Amino acid sequence: MTEDVTRGLSLLADEAEPAPIDSHAVVALARARTGRRRAVIASASVTLATVAVLALTVTALRSPTVATPAPTTTATETATETVTVTGSPAPDAVNGTQRGPAIGTEVRMPATPEERAARATRLQQELRAAFDRVLPEGWEYSTFKFACDPYGCWARGSIVDDAEPVDLMVHVSGDYSVSQCYGDTCTKKVMPDGTLVALDTAMAEPRSLGVDSVRPDGTSFSIYATWKKDRDGTLTDEQWRALGSAVTY
C-alpha cells in the first residue's frame, strides 16, 4: 500500500511546475519585511512608553498626597477631611521676631461625635497639664470639663489663689481665627513654638483679661478671665501667654 501511495504522490508532484523565483527579489522583500517589523516594534514601544508616562502623570496629578502636603494632624484628627479655601495672609508679629502662622488657608469639616468626645477629654488633659506647668505655687484650678460641638470646644472653670478665684471661659477651635488686638493694652507675640498670642490686659469690662492665640496647626484658643474684686494681679503676662499656647484642637 505504501508503495502505491509513494507512486501516486510522485505522479502528483510531477505536476508541479515551479515558477521562476528571482532570489534577489526575495532578498529585497525579506529586507523590506524586516524593516517594517522593526518599525512596527519601534512605534509600538514608543506608544507604550508615551501611554505609561501619561498614565503616571495623570495619576500623580490626581493624587492629593502628591499634589499638596498633608496638614499636621493629631491622632484624633486623622478622620477629619480638609478642604482648601482662599484665605488672608498671616499677620506679622508685633512684639516678636518670628512670623506668625499662615492664617485662613484651611477650614475643617464638622467633627463627628466620636471625634468630639475624644477631643473634649484630650483638651481637658492638656489644659490641666498646662495649669500644673504654668500656675505658680499656691494656685489651684477647678475641673474644666470641656463640651464640644461640630466646630469647637469650650469649658468654664476657675483658678484660685489665696485671695479669690479668677473665673475663666475658654474656647478652642480649628479655624485659624485670632483677635484683631486694638488698643494700647493689647500686645501680640509669637511664642517659640510659633503660636501667635494676643494678650489684652484691660478689656471693656473691668477686672477682666483676654488671651487669643492661634497655633501653627490652626488651633484657635481663647481665654476670657474675670474676677470680682480688685486685686494686685493675677498671672504675669508671660504666664497668660504660656497658657494661651497650651492646647491643640
- DSSP E strands in 96-219: the ranges are 106-108, 140-141, 147-149, 152-160, 165-173, 186-190, 196-200, 208-214
Which of 17, 132, 137, 193 is in the footprint of other proteins by CB under 8 A? 17
Sequence length of the chain is 249
The site for other proteins, by CB under 8 A, has a size of: 27
Residue 212: exposure state from Cβ atoms within 10 A (0-12, 13-18, ≥19): buried
Compute the least distance from the CB of residue 65 to other proteins, in Å.
50
For 198, the 3-state DSSP assignment is strand
Q: Judged by CB under 8 A, does residue 204 bind other proteins? A: no
- DSSP bridge pairs for 218: none
Q: Judged by CB under 8 A, does residue 163 bind other proteins? A: no
Q: Judged by CB under 8 A, does residue 15 bind other proteins? A: yes
Q: Judged by CB under 8 A, does residue 16 bind other proteins? A: yes
> Which of 223, 226, 224 has the alpha carbon at shortest distance from 247?
223
Compute the least distance from the CB of residue 48 to other proteins, in Å.
24
Site string for other proteins, 24-63 (x = CB under 8 A): x-xx-xx--xx-----------------------------
Interface with other proteins (CB under 8 A): 1-2, 4-19, 21, 23-24, 26-27, 29-30, 33-34
